[in-house]
């Protein structure tokens, strides 16, 4: 039996390696580099823990594990101790004396694994310790967990990860294994470049999480929609509700509490004791719903999270995938639910536009947002789309909203053309710019003060969209924004000085106006819901 397999069995008590674990372990034990992409719950930890033990037994010293999360280090070291493995961590939670103690253990060769925060690792003092170990051939490997943090294209960029490029130069010959549960092609390439993993063998697992059902609904009254979702489908079950802002976290937590749901708020604005307490309760007690910003979740290993709900749309698919991936780690059926609306598109676009980034960078952020928008607007299998984004081809899953209740699709091409020409006409006539509501009024031929004030009832397209409901037109607008056939344009009001977003035509608008692209839209959610109720769903 190989040393790796006997370690797996004797130390961890597992019968066999899972999926690509064996190949990864072999690669690292043999001294090669590896880049591991494996979904949450796939078993990344063993990929470096087993090699660490095997190499240590072969007299090759200690493994250094870089991890951004104190809670995670704590849990892992605890679990290793239980398994009889000598491990420790170094991070800001230790007192000076405790840290000294760990350093001493490290120097005297007593450790098999040492977990360290990236900012700690690259201090001159710590690098000095590593230099000594390296000189004695006592550095067995580096494991870089949550490796996507090194990339600004990832969804959780941490500048301190950048300094890890030093490992390659300074400790040549020491194998490095980088691991992440989420990275699209761009992020992957960036990880390779930043960490100098050109020679690394890449192990890319399927990103599919078959037990997670994906549902994306159109936002109406999102708090009530969420409430119904929880009460009807996940009463008394543990879940996480993600919100964009701290204020929203508190509002939603309160509404859920008032409805008798065991909800707790969590965001970075709470004192750390409160956060810790809420997190502990979430982990220990049954059926707690954590209402949180994305500050919550990374490294939280709770197997029986039955649902993850997004009441606001995340920034990109990687974020969405990572957050929804916290559901159903035990492999039992779980649900990823998201409500999405025009306001999400506008808000996310605004955040990108107003961010301090360079134009080139903003363009990448926008294209990532667009990919998520088109997932939200999709009328075909969500999982196929999601996996496609990570470079995988698959067939319709039968376990997402679109597969289970295929949405009725209507051809929105005519409505889209009417909408675009109205925007064009209105802006042609008035030098001012107008928001979505007004455009819709003109299109639907409504008699409002504003319409009269600007003589927009004289526009040739006035009322040509009468046949469409406002919901339908909003759908058209969202879809056009999602596909870039409609743009948002920032305008400062001369009167109030307020900055607001208005609609503008883009180069993509022309193709729609010419009738060269079809606009397929899902039937409104309200209609779809009444259908599924009839079916008794």
Q: 264-272 — which CB contacts under 8 Å span 24+ positions?
A: 264/288, 264/289, 264/290, 264/291, 265/291, 265/292, 266/290, 266/291, 266/292, 266/293, 266/295, 266/296, 267/292, 267/293, 267/295, 267/296, 268/293, 268/295
* Start-to-end Cα distance in the chain: 52
- At closest approach, how far in Å is the CB of 214 from Zn ion? 7
Size of the site for ligand ADP (CB under 6 A): 13
- At closest approach, how far in Å is the CB of 210 from Zn ion? 10
State which of residues 4, 7, 11, 17 lies at the interface with ligand ADP (CB under 6 A).
17
- Smaller CB distance to Zn ion: residue 206 or 262? 206
Find which of Zn ion, ligand ADP, none residue 41 binds, CB within 5 to 8 Å per kind: ligand ADP
Written as one string, the DSSP assignment of 456-518 is GGGSTTTTTTTTS-HHHHHHHHHHHHHHTSEEEEEEE-TTT--EEEEEEE-HHHHHHHTT-S-
- Three-state DSSP at 109 gives coil
- At closest approach, how far in Å is the CB of 494 from ligand ADP? 54
Residue 206: burial class (beta carbons within 10 Å; 0-12, 13-18, 19+): middle
- At closest approach, how far in Å is the CB of 39 from ligand ADP? 7
Instruction: Tell me if 320 sits within 8 A of 338, measured CB to CB.
Output: yes
Find which of Zn ion, ligand ADP, none residue 403 binds, CB within 5 to 8 Å per kind: Zn ion
Q: Is 263 in the site for Zn ion (CB under 5 A)?
A: no
Find which of ligand ADP, Zn ion, none residue 400 binds, CB within 5 to 8 Å per kind: Zn ion
State which of residues 11, 24, 38, 305 lies at the interface with ligand ADP (CB under 6 A).
38
- Smaller CB distance to ligand ADP: residue 4 or 464? 4
Q: Name the segment binding ligand ADP (CB under 6 A); options: 12-20, 100-108, 382-390, 456-464.
A: 12-20
Find which of Zn ion, ligand ADP, none residue 44 binds, CB within 5 to 8 Å per kind: ligand ADP
Residue nearest to ligand ADP (CB): 43
- Smaller CB distance to Zn ion: residue 400 or 481? 400
Please tell me the total number of residues recorded for the chain in this structure: 537
Provide the mask over 394-423, with x wherever binding to Zn ion is found by CB under 5 A and - wherever it is not: ---x--x--x--------------------
CA pair distance 43, 20, nearest whole angstrom = 10
Residue 377: burial class (beta carbons within 10 Å; 0-12, 13-18, 19+): buried
Please list every residue from 297 through 326 that binds ligand ADP, using CB under 6 A: 301
Find which of Zn ion, ligand ADP, none residue 397 binds, CB within 5 to 8 Å per kind: Zn ion
Q: Name the segment binding ligand ADP (CB under 6 A); options: 11-19, 110-118, 485-493, 526-534.
A: 11-19
Distance of CA 46 to the CA centre of its chain: 24
CA pair distance 301, 478, nearest whole angstrom = 36
- At closest approach, how far in Å is the CB of 117 from ligand ADP? 17
Per-residue buried b or exposed e for 252-285, using 16+ beta carbons within 10 Å of the residue's own CB: bbebbeeeebbbbbbbeebeeeebeebbeebeee
Taking the CA atoms of the chain, what radius of gyration do you get in angstroms? 26
Size of the site for Zn ion (CB under 5 A): 5
- Smaller CB distance to Zn ion: residue 264 or 381? 381
- Smaller CB distance to Zn ion: residue 177 or 381? 381
**Interface residue list for ligand ADP (CB under 6 A):** 14, 17-18, 21, 38, 40-46, 301
């Amino acid at each position: 039996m190989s040393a790796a397999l006997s370690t797996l069995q004797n130390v961890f008590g597992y019968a066999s390696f899972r999926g690509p674990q064996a190949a990864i372990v072999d690669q690292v034990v043999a001294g090669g580099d590896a880049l591991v992409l494996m979904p949450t719950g796939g078993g990344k930890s063993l990929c470096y823990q087993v090699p660490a033990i095997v190499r240590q037994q072969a007299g090759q010293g200690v493994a250094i594990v870089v991890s951004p999360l104190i809670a995670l280090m704590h849990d892992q070291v605890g679990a290793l101790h239980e398994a009889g493995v000598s491990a420790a961590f170094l991070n800001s939670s230790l007192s000076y004396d405790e840290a000294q103690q760990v350093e001493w253990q490290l120097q005297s060769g007593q450790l098999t694994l040492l977990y360290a925060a990236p900012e700690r690792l690259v201090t001159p003092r710590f690098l000095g310790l590593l230099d000594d170990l390296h000189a004695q051939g006592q550095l067995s490997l580096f494991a870089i967990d949550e490796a996507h943090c090194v990339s600004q294209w990832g969804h959780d960029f941490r500048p301190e990860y950048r300094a890890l490029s030093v490992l390659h130069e300074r400790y040549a010959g020491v194998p490095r294994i980088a691991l992440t549960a989420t990275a699209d092609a761009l992020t992957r390439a960036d990880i390779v470049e930043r960490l100098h993993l050109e020679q690394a063998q890449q192990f890319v697992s399927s990103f599919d999480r078959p037990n997670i059902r994906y549902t994306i609904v159109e936002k109406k009254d999102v708090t009530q929609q969420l409430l119904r979702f929880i009460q009807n489908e996940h009463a008394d079950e543990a879940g996480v509700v993600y919100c964009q802002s701290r204020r929203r976290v508190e509002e939603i937590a309160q509404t859920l509490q008032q409805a008798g749901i065991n909800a707790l708020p969590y965001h970075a604005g709470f004192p750390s004791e409160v956060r810790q307490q809420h997190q502990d309760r979430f982990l220990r007690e049954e059926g707690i719903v954590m209402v949180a910003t994305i500050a919550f979740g990374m490294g939280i290993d709770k197997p029986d999270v039955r649902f993850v709900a997004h009441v606001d749309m995340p920034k990109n698919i990687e974020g969405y995938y990572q957050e929804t991936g916290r559901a159903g780690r035990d492999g039992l059926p779980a649900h990823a639910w998201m409500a999405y609306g025009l306001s999400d598109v506008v808000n996310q676009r605004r955040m990108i536009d107003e961010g301090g980034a360079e134009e080139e960078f903003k363009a990448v952020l926008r294209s990532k947002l667009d990919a998520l928008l088109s997932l939200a607007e999709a009328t075909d299998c969500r999982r196929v789309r999601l996996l496609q984004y990570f470079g995988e081809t698959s067939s319709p899953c039968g376990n997402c909203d679109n597969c289970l209740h295929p949405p009725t699709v209507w051809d929105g091409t005519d409505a889209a053309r009417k909408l675009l020409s109205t925007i064009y006409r209105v802006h042609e006539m008035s030098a001012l710019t107008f928001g979505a509501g007004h455009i819709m009024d003109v299109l639907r031929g409504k008699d409002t003060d504003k319409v009269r004030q600007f003589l927009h009832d004289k526009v040739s397209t006035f009322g040509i969209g009468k046949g469409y409901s406002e919901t339908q037109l909003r759908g058209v607008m969202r879809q056009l924004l999602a596909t870039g056939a409609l743009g948002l344009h920032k305008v400062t009001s001369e009167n109030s000085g307020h900055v607001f977003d208005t609609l503008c035509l883009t180069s993509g608008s022309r193709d729609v106006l010419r009738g060269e692209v079809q606009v397929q839209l899902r039937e409104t959610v309200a209609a779809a819901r009444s259908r599924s109720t009839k079916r008794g769903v």
